[in-house]
Amino acid sequence: MKLDTATVQALRDRIEPLDTEEVRQAYRHGRFPRADKVRDLDMRYRWDLYYAARGGDIVEPDAGRITDSRGITSDHIDTALRRIVAPLGN
């Protein structure tokens, strides 16, 4: 994984308080904007949490793309998010 332990922990610290059972249930039942367009619910959920937690303040975007001077891409961030946010399950 390209993100260091401190960065992942900082993301975890911001995301975990937002990852409540109530919010998880809302996503499971499609009660969120544009739910009808979602192909991968778990990915949508973890990225919505990332944006709600202002994860871009931790892993800074570069020129509007999710990447920074360390070569961090959205795939690297998604790997970290999968380690932080458990799948929604059914």
pLDDT in tens, 25-63: 999 999 999 999 999 999 999 999 999 999 988 886 554
In a domain, 90, yes or no: no
Domain of residue 66: give its range: 5-84
Q: Following DSSP, what letter does each residue of 45-76 receive, concatenated?
A: HHHHHHHHTTGGGTS--BTTBS--TT---HHH
In a domain, 89, yes or no: no
Q: Are 63 and 71 in contact (CB under 8 A)?
A: no
pLDDT exceeds cutoff 70 at 18: yes
- Count: domains in the chain: 1
Give the pLDDT confidence score for residue 4 in this predicted structure.
Answer: 86
In a domain, 42, yes or no: yes
Q: Is 86 helix (H, G, I), strand (E, B) or coil?
A: coil
In a domain, 59, yes or no: yes
